[in-house]
Amino acid sequence: METHRELEQALKRIHRRGYPAYKEIRGEYRFPFYTLSIDHVQGDPFASPSRLSLRLTGQQAAFPRELYETPCRRIALQDELIRRFAAGAQKESFRVKGSGHSGLIATSRCTQQVVERTACRIDPRTGEVLFRLEMGFPASGRSVDGEGLRRMLLDQLPALVKASLLYNKEKDGSRFASLAQMADDRQYIRDHLAERGLCAFVANGSILPRASGVSDRPMEGAVPFFSPPEMEVCFALPHRGEIRGMGIKKGVTLIVGGGYHGKSTLLRALEDGVYDHIGGDGREFVITDPSAVKIRAEDGRSVWHTDISLFIRDLPTGRSTRCFTTRNASGSTSQAANVVEAMEGGARVLLMDEDTSATNFLYRDELMQRVVSPGQEPIIPFLQRVRELYEKWGVSTILAAGSSGSFFHVAHQVVQMDRYMPRDITARAKEEAARFTLGLVPAPEGKAPESRRAPRPFAPFRGERVKVRAMGREAVTVGKEEIDLRQVEQVIDGEQCAALGYALLYAHRKLLDGRCTLQGAAYQVEKIMDEQGTEGLCQGSLPFLARPRLAEVLACLSRLREMDR
C-alpha cells in the first residue's frame, strides 16, 4: 500500500496528460487517519463519477462501542454519518472547476427514512467504518487536472472526514447518544407491538401529512394527530419514558370519514411506518408491523403461476386460477395477486385504500348479487374473505374506505377521520350495521394459497456484464428487462430500486433453478443481506444501494415480465 505522499507524486506525474491517465492512480493509499481506496476511475469527465471508499479502523473512527453494538443503533449511526458527510460534501462540491462532473464530491442521498445503505457500514465487532463516496475527477479540457484532484483528495477530503466521520465527544457526543436512544425507543415499540396485540402505533403529536405530493418533508401548520381515548395505549420506553398514542389492534380495522378528512394520509403514514424516520420528520413514532404491505390494484402487471383462487374462480376463459398467469392483469386479478404475494412474503398486515383499489375486488352489493348470479361472477370479494384472512391465517387488514358501509359488518374496529382527528366510532357503526342486513350469498370456505412459482433462471441474465440501472424510484432495468415498480408503493427511493434490481439478478444467477420458488429465493436474498449487507448481492465496485424489505424483493422477483418466455 502506498502513502498519501506517493499519491501526491503520482498526481504530479499525470498532470496535463490525457484523461485516461487517471486510471493509473487506482489502488489504496494510507492517510493519517484512514485508508483511501480508489476503486473505479471514470473514463471521461462526463461519465458517471469515479468511486472511492474510505476505511477507518475502530481506533481511528473512535466511536464508543455502545453506539453501534445493536443493529438498530448501528443503522442509526451509519445513517447519521452519511447525512453528515453529504452535507459537508455539498458545500465542498465543485470548488474545483472543470468540464463534466469535475469537482463533484457526493455520497448516498438519504431520504426521510433511516435505512441501511451501502454508503456506510460499521463492523459491529471492531467498530471499523467503511464509507463510500463518488468524485468527479477534474479535467481541464480533455486532460487530467492533477493539481485539482490533489486539492480534492489531499485537502478537501481529509477535512470532510475529520468533520463528519470521526467521533468527537465534546462537539457531538450528546447528539450521537440521543440518536442511539431514539433508535432504542423505536425498536422497543416495534418489538412489543405484536405481544400487545397491535399492528400499528401512532404517537400523539405525530405530524402525518407531507409538504406536497412531491416532497416527503412534514407539512407546516398541520393538525397534529391525537388518539381517540378508547384506542389510546401507552408504552414505557427505555429512554424517553411514557409515550401515548393510538394503538391499532390486530384484526380488521376500517378508517372511514368524509372526503378530504385525512383517511389516505393516515394510511400512507402507516405504510411508511414500516421504516424508521429521522428526527423532525413528524413520523418518528409512527410504527407499523414491519411486515405490513400496501395492497392496491395494479392493472397491466404480469402475474406468474399464482394461486388467486381465494378471490377469483372460474374465469370466463375456463382457465384455472390456482395457477394463474397473465401478462396483463385486470384491476381485480392484479389486486388478488398482490394479496397472495404479500401472504407468501409473510405479511401479517395488509394496508388498503379504497382510492387505489378495484371496486369489484372489495365488495359487491346485494342488488348486483341478485342480478348477476354468483355462478356468473368469478370474484369472491375481499369483504367476504377479510375476516377469514385474520381468523385462519392471522393476517390483519387496515382499510381506508369512504363509500362502502358493508365493511362495518366485518370490522373489529372503526376509526372515523374527522377534520384530521380520529374518532373511535366502532360501537355506533356496529349498532347501525346490526339494523342493516347485507344479504350476501355466503362464500365457499377459502384454502390457503398454494403457489408453486419455481421459475428457471432467465437466460439473458447469465452473461458476463448485465447492467442494473434504477430509473428513479419508478423502475429498475436489469439488462434489457424493465421492472415497473411505480405501484409497489413502499419502495422509498432509487437506491432501493437499484438494490431490488441486484436482488433479481442475484436470484436468477444463483438461486433459481426450476426448483427454488420465488418465495424461497426472496428469503435467501434476505439472509444474504442479513449476513453481508446489501453489498452481498453484487460484485465489483459497488453502487449506492439502500436495503429493501423482503416484501419488495418478492414483489420485484414476481414482476419480471419475461419469466415465462
Distance between CA atoms of 157 and 163, rounded to whole angstroms?
10
Residue 265 binding ligand ADP, by CB under 6 A: yes
Nearest to 353 by CA among 401, 397, 311: 401
Element (H, E) at 503: helix 494-506
323 binds, among ligand ADP, Mg ion, none (CB under 5 to 8 A by kind): none
CB nearer ligand ADP, residue 74 or residue 283: 283
Question: Using the rule CB under 6 A, which residue among 101, 117, 132, 261 binds ligand ADP?
Answer: 261
CB 547 within 8 A of CB 499: yes
| Cα–Cα distance for residue pair 59/120, rounded to 1 Å | 17
How far is Cα 409 from Cα 432, in angstroms, rounded to an integer?
A: 9
Q: Is 399 helix (H, G, I), strand (E, B) or coil?
A: strand
Q: DSSP class of residue 507? A: I
Nearer to Mg ion, 102 or 265 (CB): 265
Contact between 222 and ligand ADP per CB under 6 A: yes
Closest distance of CB 240 from ligand ADP, Å: 23
The one of Mg ion, ligand ADP, none whose footprint includes residue 315, by CB under 5 to 8 A per kind, is none
Instruction: In angstroms, give the least distance from the CB of 353 to Mg ion.
Output: 6
Binder among 108, 156, 264, 306 for Mg ion (CB under 5 A): 264
Among 69, 123, 355, 450, binds Mg ion (CB under 5 A): 355
Q: Which residue has the cell 430509473?
A: 471
Single out the segment in contact with Mg ion by CB under 5 A; choices: 243-251, 257-265, 414-422, 439-447: 257-265
| Beta carbons within 10 angstroms of residue 26's beta carbon | 13
Q: Which residues contact 42 (CB under 8 A, 6 or more apart)?
A: 22, 48, 49, 50, 101, 136, 137
CA distance 534 to 125: 18
Site string for ligand ADP, 158-197 (x = CB under 6 A): ----------------------------------------
Residue 265 found at the interface with Mg ion (CB under 5 A): no
CB nearer to ligand ADP: pick between 31 and 420: 420
CA distance 217 to 348: 28
Residue 255's DSSP bridge partners are 400, 415
| CA atoms of 49 and 518, how far apart (whole Å) | 35
Q: Is 144 helix (H, G, I), strand (E, B) or coil?
A: strand
Which residues, in sequence order, are CB contacts of 124 under 8 Å at separation 6+? 68, 69, 71, 74
Candidates 88, 148, 257, 381: give the one binding ligand ADP (CB under 6 A). Answer: 257
Identify what 420 binds: Mg ion, ligand ADP, none; CB under 5 to 8 Å per kind. Answer: ligand ADP
The answer to the question of residue 490 lying near Mg ion (CB under 5 A) is no
Comparison of 2 and 355: residue with beta carbon closer to Mg ion: 355
* Closer residue to ligand ADP in complex, CB, 225/390: 225
DSSP secondary structure letter of residue 117 = B
Is 263 among the residues that bind ligand ADP (CB under 6 A)? yes
- Among 241, 259, 442, 514, contact with ligand ADP (rule: CB under 6 A): 259
Least separation in angstroms between CB 262 and Mg ion: 8
Please answer whether residues 415 and 253 qualify as being in contact, where contact means their C-beta atoms are separated by less than 8 angstroms. Answer: yes
Task: State the binding partner of 406 from Mg ion, ligand ADP, none, CB within 5 to 8 A by kind.
Answer: none
Q: Per CB under 6 A, does 215 bind ligand ADP?
A: no
Q: Is 211 in the site for ligand ADP (CB under 6 A)?
A: no
| Of 360, 361, 246, residue with least CA distance to 295 | 361
Contacting residues for 83 by C-beta, under 8 A, at least 6 apart:
110, 278
Q: What sign for the dihedral angle of Cα 321, 322, 326, 329?
A: positive
Taking the complex as a whole, the smallest distance from the CB of residue 417 to ligand ADP amounts, in Å, to 6
Checking DSSP bridges between strand 396-400 and strand 252-256, what pairing results, if any? Answer: parallel
With CB cut-offs between 5 and 8 Å by kind, which of ligand ADP, Mg ion, none does residue 257 bind? ligand ADP
Q: Does residue 262 bind ligand ADP (CB under 6 A)?
A: yes
Selection from Mg ion, ligand ADP, none that 186 binds (CB < 5 to 8 A by kind) is none
Among 126, 142, 260, 444, the residue binding ligand ADP under the rule CB under 6 A is 260
In 338-405, the DSSP E strands lie at: 349-353, 396-400
Q: Considering the complex, state which of residue 107 and residue 264 has its C-beta at the smaller distance from ligand ADP.
A: 264
Q: Which one among 87, 194, 223, 459 touches ligand ADP, defined by CB under 6 A?
A: 223
User: Which parts of 392-451 interact with ligand ADP (CB under 6 A)?
Assistant: 417, 420
93 burial (CB, 10 Å; 0-12 / 13-18 / 19+) is middle
Q: Which does 130 bind (CB under 5 to 8 A by kind): Mg ion, ligand ADP, none?
A: none
Minimum distance from residue 266 beta carbon to ligand ADP (Å): 7
Query: What residue ranges bind ligand ADP (CB under 6 A)?
Result: 208-209, 219, 222-223, 257, 259-265, 417, 420
Query: What residue ranges bind Mg ion (CB under 5 A)?
Result: 263-264, 355
